[in-house]
Structure 1
Amino acid sequence: MDSEGEGFYSSSSDATADDSFADYAAVSRLQKPYKILTDDDIRQLFDDDISTVSDVLSVSRGAACTLLCQNNWNLSSVYDKFFAADHRNHQTDASSSSQQELGQNLCKICYDEISPQNTVSAACGHPFCADCWKTYVAAAIDDGAGCLTLRCPEPGCGVAAGVDLIESLASTDGKEKYHRYLRQSYVEASRRRKWCPAPGCNFAVEFDGGGGGGGYDVTCGCSHKFCWNCGEEHHRPVGCETVASWSEKNNSEAENTQWILVYTKPCPKCRRPIEKNQGCNWMTCRPPCLFHFCWLCGKGTGSHTHCNKYGGATAVDENNAKRERARKDLQRYTHYYERWHANEQSRKAAVKDLKTWRDNIGVSKLGEAQGEAPAQLQFVTKAWEQIVECRRVLKWSYAYGYYMEREAPKKVALFEHSQGEAEKQLERLHHCVEKEMGEYLRRRREDFQEFRVRVVDLTVVTGNYFENLVRDLENNRPEVVGGGGGRNGLKKKKDDDERKGLGKKRKKEDDDERNVPRKRATYASRYSRN
């Protein structure tokens, strides 16, 4: 390291390093209370809600499950609708269907005669044979979660099949799939619960964000981190609007169109875009056009002599000006995208290195080389954690910078200064643990303790720089198009107003959920079992 770097790391003892780690905090968004739900946890919550409705309404568990599914798993809605109408109109138990006398003994699907013992019907009483019902139920379950809204097969009948009826007709595998769809619906219907978006993860997250708006970082049990609001990877300091706009721009065909506009010219005759890939300015269009023209002025070469004289503004000059604007826009986008992509690649590489140290592979190798206990080498893991987090923040800061209003040069200059200083410290830390660490992995070094102090100090200082960067960006968010990066020019005040309105709505929903036990007690006392 140069002399500036040596002067920068002032700590000289293990005690100082330990004190530094006491203040260490990785850059992360403010986290609200949440918990990870395993499959067993979801089953327990699912069964508890069904039992509650079954006890209060004095119906079977299958009927309670049907009522909950029909009312989007909202207990308050179930109680309100159930007691607002006559109980007999809400009876969902399939066994009651046999009380209706229709005087029919013909299945309307297979047109075979059916005996009373082989007759199956939903609450509406439309009779069908058991075999047709089983085929109907099996096909619905195989088609997916749509089986949760399965209706009577009678044309025009909208009566739900009901959980009890489906369970009595489905196969063992079919019942397992059906209940899995029910639990998925149970999680997805709740505003406070979400599935982890990581591929192959079966965990859900139950979040208690109160009544306020905004996005929050959630870390699942599978270690995947995502934004609660949009489900994308956590993206502080930019807003969800910025992430959506940036992703759309990166995947948009408009960028290809802009490249064509910048680096090609239309043939004056057929208007197809032509790229100049040789030195001669006399161009020939592709077959079948084969028009010969001058690349500089666009005139045909048959009568063309020279085009060096300036004749005032022309349509060609306007097209050139348009191409120049497009060229500058493309260069600006390329600048930010290249750095966004580079930091994403660096972050992915750092994640792999972090896994090596978390799995104790790197810890064991370094411990053998330097004669240190694994507990004394956790500073390296902390450093890699800081690098991963800072690479993520730095990556999204470039998307933030792309959407900044260029009419505020002082704000842009402040942003670029904070970003540059943070990036410089991150590169020092990354170089230290990735490049310099190699010497300490290969052989014992007498200066290992000094190296340890240097890594610890760099980790803490880099974290502080990035915390300041995030704070600056969040405080200056009104200067960013889209109130956090959106491309529609929304300002922070509008976002705050929307969040206040959303907060009131969420607070009301939370109050409704909290009032469910109170309503349940009221209903139970009003409609007690006979």
Structure 2
Amino acid sequence: MDFSDGEPEDFDVDDVIDIDEVEEEVQETSYEVLDATDIETQLNEAISDLQDVLQVTRGVSRILLQKFKWNKDELLEKFYEKPDTEAFLVEAQVLPKEPAPTLPMTPEDECEICCDSAPLSGLACGHKACDMCWGTYLADKIKEGQSEIQCMASDCKLLMEDVKIQSYINDPSLISKYHQLIIRSYVETNKLLSWCPGMNCGKVVKVHYSESRLVVCSCGTQFCFMCGSKAHDPVSCRLLKLWKKKTEELHGKKHATEGYGADDDSFKWLMTNTKDCPKCMVPIEKNGGCNYMLCKNSKCRFQFCWVCMQPWQVHSQAWYECNKYDPAAAVSREKKRAEHHRLIFYYTRYMAHEQSLAFEAKLRRMVRLKVLRMEQLLIPWIDAQYLFKAVDTLVKCRNTMMFSYVFAYFLKRDNNSLIFEANQRDLEKATEELSGFLERDLEKQDYTKLKQMVNDKSSYVDKRRDVLLKHLRDGEEMGVWEFNE
């Protein structure tokens, strides 16, 4: 059964790798992949273990664990800090603040919710209603996605136990949904668990410590455990989030440099012959004698002076200062412009590798056709698997190269950054050589030499990737990396 919710984001065929080709850093990470049965088993064991320790009902045990995000150690620490067990349970909303008053039993009474005469029942807090009203209330809460449901009295915070909730619901599909909500809570609030984002997977990855990053599900999907995105080594989740924000702003500006690489003649012409809008940083060319400028970006439309780059409004006012040189403002403008072009420089290279990754799907099809032709020559399918592994290696290295430019963008320059750039250059060169060989030279080689050549090139590019990542991990452990954020 698939308990995960929603469609996966940004995952495609290139995020799925050969499980036999799990890289060194993944093997070093201690984690396991759980299916639906495993999840339920571990959830039930956690509930039973706490139930035995605290001597409470199963429902209370589940509520307490959910409140503490299924962290048993933290829960017990808080529990033993409280000398008064009852006070702890009241604070956790599993015991009422005041016990319910003892009232004479009557076969039927008037329900305060629907005003019908019917048998009433309720909770330890003393609030009662008929079974129909309880059932309707609980059904609405479950449909809203709640797995922690309070008493229906507006001023009562007491949480209802699972057995009580299920006693009022007759619809099996609602009970099943409620059960799934508890499981989702178990996974999504537990810092050691994460749903696999692979298409229609539904499995859960469990790590043994919360700092784990790259994990690979049994379905073949590799992803970052900490943020759920596709694998993005060597850049951290925090820097990746900052990068996305910066590049989203870049896209929002729809800058005039779109389509130009940072090394193109057209790009250099833009840098020489245009100025950036002071507000949105879109490059603007002056094509007339008037110094009044209107930004053509439909989301900006900022009016400014071409000479001093100040808002045009000041030129018709008493504080006109276009003829006065402000060195601080000039330096600030140049710095901002340089930073904008620096971002484009790294973004251009990031996008180049992302586009190449998109083409690798076509390469997979080419390799598949090659293998089919090899089969016709009586070369077994199993003996041609090295070609698919080479494509997997290429995809893996492309992905690392792509995110290495995010890392490089934020990295402060020093001696360590020079080593990083040298490793980055070597990996990029090896990656392009492997890519070129697979795309252009695959058909030129005879089958006796092909395997050795492909394996040699794949092995070399994999080693260059390991060198780059090891240097970055070592630097992270020693605290040598400094970033411009």
TM-score under structure 1 normalisation?
0.67
Question: How far did 1:172 drift?
Answer: 1.1
Following superposition, the deviation at residue 54 of structure 1 comes to 5.3
1:258–1:366: structure 2 CA closer, same or farther, 3 Å change rule? closer
Alpha-carbon distance change, 353 to 36 in structure 1, aligned in 2, over 3 angstroms: farther
Corresponding residue number in structure 1 for 2:148: 149
Structure 1, unpaired ranges of 5+: 1-23, 300-311, 489-530
Task: Name the aligned partner's letter for residue 156 of structure 1.
Answer: D
Q: How many residues are treated as equivalent by the alignment?
A: 423
Quick one: which of 274, 277, 281 aligns to 2:289?
281
Superposed displacement of residue 255, structure 1: 7.8
Aligned to 2:85, the other structure's residue is in SS state coil
1:436 aligns with 2:446: no
For 1:228, the equivalent position in structure 2 comes to: 225
Note the alpha carbon deviations across 1:328-382, whole angstroms, 9 max, x for none: 222221111111111122223325644886xxx4464232354411122111112
Question: SS of the residue aligned with 2:33?
Answer: strand
Alignment match of 2:390 (pick from 383, 400, 403): 383
- In structure 2, the partner of 1:168 is 167
Corresponding residue number in structure 2 for 1:130: 131
Deviates most, 424-433 or 465-474: 465-474
Distance across 1 between alignment mates of 2:400 and 2:344: 19
Q: What is residue 17 of structure 1 aligned with on the other side?
A: none
Larger Rg, first or second structure (1 or 2): 1
State whether structure 2 residue 227 is matched by structure 1 residue 218. Answer: no
Separation of aligned partners in 2, 1:386 and 1:343: 14
Q: What secondary structure is seen at the aligned counterpart in 2 of 1:366?
A: helix
Check the 8 A contact 2:404/2:424 in 1, yes or no.
yes
Moved more, 65-74 or 467-476: 65-74
Native 8 Å contact 2:275 2:285 kept in 1: no
The 3 A distance-change label for structure 1 pair 162 and 476 is closer
State the one-letter code of the partner of 2:353. N
Distance 2:177 2:375 in 1: 51
2:325 is aligned with 1:315: yes
* Structure 1 residue matching 2:32: 3-state secondary structure: strand
Give 1:185 deviation, angstroms: 1.4
* 1:55 Cα deviation after fit: 5.9
* Partner SS for 1:377: helix
Do the aligned partners of 1:93 and 1:164 also contact (CA within 8 Å) in 2? no
Q: Could you say which residue in structure 1 is the equivalent of 2:409?
A: 402
- Summarize deviations over 1:30-85 as a string: whole Å, max 9, x none: 53221111111112222333444556667664454445445544556379579953
Q: Does the Cα contact within 8 Å between 2:253 and 2:280 map onto a contact in 1? A: no
Query: For the structure 1 residues 388 and 128, does the alpha-carbon distance in structure 2 shift closer, same or farther, using more than 3 Å as the test?
Result: same
Letter in 1 for 2:470: R
Report if the CA contact (8 A) 2:277-2:284 is conserved: no
Give the direction of change, closer, same or farther, for the CA distance of 1:487–1:257 in structure 2 (3 Å limit).
farther
Given the alignment, which residue of 405, 409, 416 partners 2:421?
416
Instruction: Give the alignment's Cα RMSD to 1 decimal.
Output: 4.4
Q: How does 1:338-357 map to 2 (within 5 A)?
A: 338-350=348-360, 353-354=363-364
Q: 1:61 to 1:351 in 2, by over 3 A?
A: farther
Counterpart Cα distance in 2 of 1:363 and 1:384: 13
- Matched with 1:526 is none
Residues 1:272 and 1:26: Cα distance change in structure 2 (over 3 Å): closer
- Whose RCO is larger (CA < 8 A, sep 6+)? 1
Q: Which amino acid aligns with 1:125?
A: G
Deviation at 1:214, TM superposition (A): 4.0
Structure 1 pair 243/484, CA: closer, same or farther in 2 (3 Å)? farther
1:282 alignment partner AA: C
1:138 is displaced (CA, Å) by 0.7
Question: Cα gap change, 1:245/1:179 in structure 2, threshold over 3 Å: closer, same or farther?
Answer: same
Where do 1:353-502 residues align within 5 Å?
Answer: 353-354=363-364, 361-362=368-369, 364-368=371-375, 370-406=377-413, 408=414, 410-437=415-442, 439=443, 447-477=446-476, 486-488=483-485
Partner of 1:154, secondary structure, is: coil
Contact 2:350 2:406 in 1 (8 A): yes
Q: Are residues 1:101 and 2:106 paired?
A: no
Q: Which one is further off, 184-193 or 421-430?
A: 184-193
Deviation (angstroms), 1:275 = 7.1
Q: 1:401 and 1:249, CA in 2 relative to 1: closer, same or farther beyond 3 A?
A: same
CA 1:56–1:30 in structure 2 vs 1: closer, same or farther (change >3 Å)? closer
CA distance in 1, matches of 2:477, 2:51: 51
C-alpha change, 1:133 and 1:72, in structure 2 (3 Å) is same
Gaps of 5+ in 2: 1-20, 258-269, 296-302, 311-321
Structure 1 distance, partners of 2:481, 2:280, is 39
Secondary structure of 2:110 counterpart: coil
Instruction: Supply the distance in 2 between the matched residues of 1:45 and 1:325 (Cα, whole angstroms).
Output: 55
Aligned position for 2:261: none
Tell me the residue number matched to 2:38. 41
Report what 1:186 is aligned to.
Answer: 186
1:155 maps to amino acid: S
Counterpart in 2 of 1:19? none
TM-superposed CA distance for 1:202, in Å, is 1.4
Whether the 8 Å contact between 2:47 and 2:62 is mirrored in structure 1 is yes
Q: What SS does the corresponding residue of 2:136 show, helix, strand or coil?
A: helix
Q: What SS class does the counterpart of residue 205 from structure 2 fall into?
A: strand
User: How high is the sequence identity, in percent, across the aligned residues?
Assistant: 25
Alpha-carbon spacing, 1:395–1:62, altered in 2? closer, same or farther (3 Å): same
Bigger fraction of residues in helix: 1
Q: Out of 220, 235, 238, which is 1:238 matched to?
A: 235
Superposed displacement of residue 135, structure 1: 0.8
In structure 2, the residue corresponding to 1:282 is in which secondary structure? coil
Task: Measure the CA separation in 2 of the matches of 1:332 and 1:383.
Answer: 33
The structure-2 alpha-carbon separation of the partners of 1:63 and 1:274, relative to structure 1 and needing over 3 Å to count, comes to closer
> What residue identity is the alignment partner of 2:435?
H
Partner amino acid, structure 2, of 1:216: R
Q: Evaluate the alpha carbon distance shift between residue 102 and residue 333 of structure 1 in structure 2; reply closer, same or farther with a 3 A threshold.
A: farther
Name the CA distance, whole Å, in 2 between partners of 1:329 and 1:203: 43
